[in-house]
Amino acid sequence: MSWRDGIALALRSIMRRPARTVLTILAVALGSGLLVALVAIAQVADTQVIGQLGKGGPTSAITVVPAAATQAQLGSDSAQSGQPDPITPEIVSTIRRAPAVSSIQTVISQAVIVVPPPLGLSIPNFLGDDPDRGLPRTFFDNLVGVDLSSASQLPITLLSGRLPTPGSASEVVVTAAYLDHLGVDVKHPEKVLGTVLEIGAPQVVDATNGTVRSRWTRAAITGVVAQNAGNGNILASQELASADRAWQLSGVDGAGIGLPLPASPYAGLIVVADSLGDVHQVRAEITTLGFANSAPEHLVASTQRYLHVVDIVLGAIGTIALVIAVLGIANALLAAVRERRREIGILKAIGARDGDILRWFLTEAFICGGIGGILGTAFGLAAVTLTAQVVDTYLVGQGLGSVSLGGVPVLVALIGVLGSVLLSLLAAAWPALRAARLPAREAVGAL
């Protein structure tokens, strides 16, 4: 019997018991749907959890600080800092040339005075400001300057609004700590969006009598972020931070009054390794150069091990559900074999080989498994999409970063469909063999 005839016969046979067929397909669909949903959710969860360890940037990012590394550096995820050690452009160039380094982002940090709304350009005695009388809650902070055109390479998570335009000197984003300063509920970061603050970069004119003047910049807040690029709560373009830094450097050292000149050109580096597996090697290179650095490599490794266990458990639950479902196919086919003993005998009497009978039943299983697998996979992916939307709405409502599926997991979908078909064929093997081996005489009740 040709495949075409076998498929036609199988389709006719399937349609003979439509209710049973529908129930069998539904069972497979539910099983494969559960498998796909669990595996997809596990994958998304893995990505999100590992991504969270990157704090918004690449998981393979390494933060380099301007300090000497201690001997314990490589055994620790955090920076084991010794004496301050400036990061110079030459050091940046050396690291950039190291193997397995994908990119480097420099970070500039500048001490500033921040004047939130209501504004007052002239602050003769800012330490005496009284918020209760409507005066600005002026505070000292650090302005962190980064290359905003490469923000995806930095440990920055946008919580609300948007990042400043790259190169802008009139836009900044703030962290949740800024909201705390203003007494704004961190669950409503949108309240500060569009407001304008003033940033004053100090310049010590005379350290002996404590004369300090400032370079004032007025900037609009475009967003609220969580960031680990540098130590500060105001994030701006590198151009703005560089200008403020140059202003301070044009003055004198004010170490005696708490305003020392910055020693290191860069407050830090964000070095991105080619992959998670390359992080240790790049950290070793940086440590060899003598700089303390941090990266969650050990945390990621141990988290991955735990996540892998979760993946296995979820996958096993889904697989068990699918196996139970395809056992329904075996049961349905066993019933079909009982019902069709006479037809099997007739086919054999007119010359069907065992293989023809086998093909007939396996084709039925293939069709049921295939349709069930496709329906189940679609159902599972839809369930995951819906779940992700619900979770995303919740997270955003809580002022946290949103969750993304990252597109349709093609591999998971393939596993759902092919797994259903394969398990269906395996489940059908015994009933099909039983049918194929029916003695022609026993089967032909018609003779």
Residues that bind other proteins (CB under 8 A): 1-2, 5, 8-9, 12-13, 15-16, 342-343, 345-354, 356, 439-441, 444-447
Which residue number, 15 or 410, has a Cβ lying nearer to other proteins?
15
Which residue number, 201 or 444, has a Cβ lying nearer to other proteins?
444
Whole-angstrom distance, CA of residue 401 vs CA of residue 47: 13
Q: In the complex, what is the shortest distance from the CB of residue 329 to other proteins, in angstroms, rounded to a whole number?
A: 19
Which residue number, 141 or 343, has a Cβ lying nearer to other proteins?
343
Q: In the complex, what is the shortest distance from the CB of residue 338 to other proteins, in angstroms, rounded to a whole number?
A: 15
Q: In the complex, what is the shortest distance from the CB of residue 421 to other proteins, in angstroms, rounded to a whole number?
A: 23
Q: In the complex, what is the shortest distance from the CB of residue 437 to other proteins, in angstroms, rounded to a whole number?
A: 11
Q: In the complex, what is the shortest distance from the CB of residue 431 to other proteins, in angstroms, rounded to a whole number?
A: 18
Q: How many CA atoms lie within 13 A of 88 on its CB side?
A: 6
Task: Centre a 10 Å sphere on the Cβ of residue 376 and count the other Cβ atoms it contains.
Answer: 31
What does the longest C-alpha to C-alpha distance in the chain come to?
Answer: 121
Q: In the complex, what is the shortest distance from the CB of residue 14 to other proteins, in angstroms, rounded to a whole number?
A: 9
Which residue number, 13 or 217, has a Cβ lying nearer to other proteins?
13
Which residue number, 244 or 343, has a Cβ lying nearer to other proteins?
343
Q: In the complex, what is the shortest distance from the CB of residue 365 to other proteins, in angstroms, rounded to a whole number?
A: 17
Which residue number, 13 or 319, has a Cβ lying nearer to other proteins?
13
Q: In the complex, what is the shortest distance from the CB of residue 22 to other proteins, in angstroms, rounded to a whole number?
A: 17
| Backbone φ and ψ of 28, nearest 5° | -65, -40
Whole-angstrom distance, CA of residue 171 vs CA of residue 219: 5
Whole-angstrom distance, CA of residue 437 vs CA of residue 361: 12
The full length of the chain comes to 447
Whole-angstrom distance, CA of residue 63 vs CA of residue 55: 12
Whole-angstrom distance, CA of residue 352 vs CA of residue 162: 71
Q: In the complex, what is the shortest distance from the CB of residue 356 to other proteins, in angstroms, rounded to a whole number?
A: 6
Q: How far is CA 267 from CA 53, 284, 410, in A?
A: 22, 20, 42
**118: preceding bond cis by omega (within 30 degrees):** yes
Q: Where are the beta strands (DSSP E) in 31-100?
A: 61-69, 81-84
Residue ranges of the alpha helices (H) in 62-120?
89-97
| Backbone φ and ψ of 78, nearest 5° | -90, 165
Q: In the complex, what is the shortest distance from the CB of residue 38 to other proteins, in angstroms, rounded to a whole number?
A: 38
Which residue number, 8 or 313, has a Cβ lying nearer to other proteins?
8
3-state SS assignment for residue 169: coil
Which residue number, 41 or 444, has a Cβ lying nearer to other proteins?
444
Residue of 218, 204, 201 whose CA lies nearest to 142: 201
Which residue number, 128 or 351, has a Cβ lying nearer to other proteins?
351
Show the CA angle centred on residue 221, arms to residues 220 and 225, nearest 5°.
155
Q: In the complex, what is the shortest distance from the CB of residue 352 to other proteins, in angstroms, rounded to a whole number?
A: 5
Which residue number, 1 or 383, has a Cβ lying nearer to other proteins?
1
Whole-angstrom distance, CA of residue 329 vs CA of residue 338: 14
Which residue number, 99 or 355, has a Cβ lying nearer to other proteins?
355
Q: Beta 268-273 vs 291-294: how paired, if at all?
A: unpaired
Which residue number, 9 or 267, has a Cβ lying nearer to other proteins?
9
H or E segment at 139? strand 139-146
Q: Could you tell me which residues are beta bridge partners of residue 259?
A: 254
Q: Could you tell me which residues are beta bridge partners of residue 204?
A: 212
Q: In the complex, what is the shortest distance from the CB of residue 341 to other proteins, in angstroms, rounded to a whole number?
A: 12
User: What residues contact 233, with CB distance under 8 A and at least 6 apart?
Assistant: 141, 142, 174, 175, 177, 178, 181
Whole-angstrom distance, CA of residue 195 vs CA of residue 192: 6
